[in-house]
A and B are shown apart, each in its own frame.
Chain A
């Protein structure tokens, strides 16, 4: 059976020793540890503590690293290095040294439960030895697991080894590579550290403001000799490629924009990956210089926390690490609230959880109403600390309390839902069977039982679970006539100016007040046929506004025999000087006049003086 240390070592080997020949950095921070935690069989929320405990438990004795130096000496090139987790631990301490700057040993001693500010006994022999053996192991494997980058430092002789892996992050190395390219530096040249430093200084100062720029600038200001050494080391490891050195995984961050209630995955923009194809779940796109990955797959919520959920072509894997809770802070670059690793007490943050907090949070913490389905969200103002349940705790809480979830709710206070196929709620927080009104039991899947297949009728229902009963009502309707609706947008919109005439077949006539007449051919709009809809009217608005005279009436034949005569609204009766002047078809116009005056004239126009005048003018015109 594997020990905890062995599980962590195997997980870290899987993380770092991938099949590629790029320079390999063992950069290890909390995020890396959380990333591999599930591979090590540990809950993400307790990853760092578990990792430290597993490694420190192997570092006993008078000289804590002596045992691993011996192991490193005897490791052959075919087996994975069993000491890799120890190296990662040493780098982790260097990464987390922020409080003490370059005073590495106090932090290390604290983790080893040793007193003093100096190096632990044997550190100066054993730690360089383990790193050297690791470098040799990489070389012995022809660099297929990566090219060695760990090295001794001129100013920090022993701690230089872990610092060489920790001083700059993968993203900082990406920036350095970009600076090399901007400064016109080519790889594999004989350039000293001082020369490199002076060549990239200006591009660094003018680079866009990013955390990487800040870190490198600070390092340059505070420790210029260290910065020069880092630049030199990075240059020596650079093979001229634009791909990110050392980057194997790119974290997807959940992002949220409250204005339009949109959720998506984002990554930092990575200039070196510009224009490469990415895939997340069922969507693909191209890396864009200003946006990075911006993905809204349809199955977004099943991908959140699912680990590796996509990739960049020829680039890193895209991952969404599992977490019991997610903190979101405002990110101006992304333009929304974006997932961050942990609570920032100096900022307002959203907290996203799978289940509501088991106890009511303090008053300033507000539950946010726009939480996505199946999740709970809180706005946590700056300065407020919260005790959060672990993943396991949250699950056990939910399993103790069955509750109604989803459905189309009509009255929350009485658990009343709309009776329709989509309206029936689920029972959440159950691990076993649910029985409703004595019907066959429904089995819960992942803590939730769907009641849809039960075809429950309207009325009251009782769901029986191992942990208690739930009552709910399905209601057919709430509103009964008469319903008085309030004023709405409809009431502020005017009717459109238009003219249309009933029509089933044949041509349509436009008639002017001075005997003008024009016959137009009309067609049934194609989209009506596509929908199998019948047409009994023809729109004339476009025709009357595109006529050389001022049309006064529109006339269409009718299958009933009486032509339809529709007056043109004054607002639309405008002569178009640019319209084609078509000669009147006298024979057809005479037939129209005959139909209009013989026996079957339009009833509604018999007392209309304007119509009579217009008809008289038309008669004169066709008989001229």
Chain B
């Protein structure tokens, strides 16, 4: 398979392993300038994140350890996520000739070892038949996990959604979310307001940065990361999650991506990035959507529950 600029970015991240967010931004912008579509560097970073290859915080990033996870409802197929340094790629591409015994032992059981391109680093499907000793992968540093997508959802359900409660205004008031605009083609709209007494979702400036918070009552704010704030606004049905049971597709409607943790859980159902575009036959509007593959109704409902929403059946 021909490597793409997206694969090059993952290769770079795998070789360098960790660094400042600025270095990742620079690399991603450079790669984005080398692909012909409308991708931005920021989108590439989000894609790497939701594919499980990297982890970021406000200042740093680090590559995820190479990990093999078997997909739920995936016909026994597994995907390799995390670091993909050149030496490991070479060993896995030629399991029979690998210098590591656990990989040579695994070779007889492997039924699928293929990379499938997408608008991001290619998905690496590595599938083993019954009786294979996948634990041996740990000897070359590959972690083995069953159904990471399901694990992420369990984790979110048991730990709650990320939020910080504040009893003082989180910053200088900079607008109130115009309800229902989160799923528009151009993203959420904010209106100028003189106060934040009413319940709702507001944004504030703090240390030159925008902070998003939901006003819950007279003295309490729930501060959230932007995507959480948009997908979890105050008592709102917007944006919507649409489900197509026959195709097992879940559509997230609107220009704002799902919160990173939720998007990662959905992407790790198949190892594929969502297909983005307008799905008029589903939404009957020109709103942008992201379509996720291999989502069962139970999983879609679990995701909706995390976002305090209801799945709309198509």
Contact = CB atoms under 8 A, between A and B. Distances in A.
Contacts, number: 244
Interface in B100-155: 100, 111-112, 114, 116, 125, 127, 129-130, 140-141, 143, 145-155
Q: Is the interface of A mostly helix, strand, loop or mixed?
A: loop
Interface of B: 3, 5, 8-9, 11-12, 14-17, 20-23, 25-27, 29-31, 33-34, 37-42, 52, 55, 62-67, 70, 72-77, 82-83, 85-88, 100, 111-112, 114, 116, 125, 127, 129-130, 140-141, 143, 145-155, 172-175, 178, 181, 185-187, 189-192, 194, 203, 205, 208-211, 226, 247-248, 270, 272, 293-294, 296, 298
A488 B55 contact: yes
A310 B125 CA distance: 44
A423 B12 contact: yes
Interface stretch (A102-110, A218-226, A429-437, A522-530): A522-530
Interface in A504-530: 524-528
Contacts of A486: 62, 65
Contacts of A298: 37-40
Contacts of A372: 29
A496 B147 contact: yes
A488 B13 CA distance: 15
Interface string A358-370: 0000000000011
A443 interface: no
- The 5 residue pairs across chains A and B that have the minimum distance between CB atoms: A496-B150, A535-B75, A537-B76, A369-B22, A496-B147
Interface of A: 208-209, 257-262, 282, 285-286, 288, 290-291, 294, 296-298, 330, 332-333, 335-337, 348, 369-370, 372-373, 406-410, 418, 420-423, 476-486, 488-498, 500, 502, 524-528, 531, 533-539, 541-542, 545, 564
A420 B31 CA distance: 12
Contacts of A484: 141
A496 B8 contact: no
A418 B145 CA distance: 30
Contact of B155 (A257, A407, A476, A494): A494
Contacts of A477: 15, 85-87
Contact of A479 (B42, B87, B154): B87
A373 B29 contact: yes
A285 B186 contact: yes
Q: Which of A407, A423, A479, A493 has the most CB of B within 10 A?
A: A493
B3 A370 contact: no
B30 A260 contact: no
Nearest to A422: B8
B106 to A, nearest CB: 15
Nearest to A477: B86
Contacts of A527: 248, 270, 293-294
A502 B130 contact: yes
Given A422-B8, A479-B85, A490-B82, 18 more contacts: A291-B186, A335-B175, A335-B210, A373-B33, A408-B12, A422-B30, A478-B15, A479-B15, A479-B83, A482-B140, A485-B82, A485-B83, A496-B154, A497-B150, A524-B75, A525-B74, A533-B125, A537-B75
Contacts of B186: 285-286, 288, 291, 294
Contacts of B294: 525, 527
B13 to A, nearest CB: 9
Contacts of A333: 174-175, 192
Contacts of B21: 369-370
A340 to B, nearest CB: 15
Contacts of B76: 500, 502, 535-537
A1 B87 CA distance: 68
A336 B211 CA distance: 11
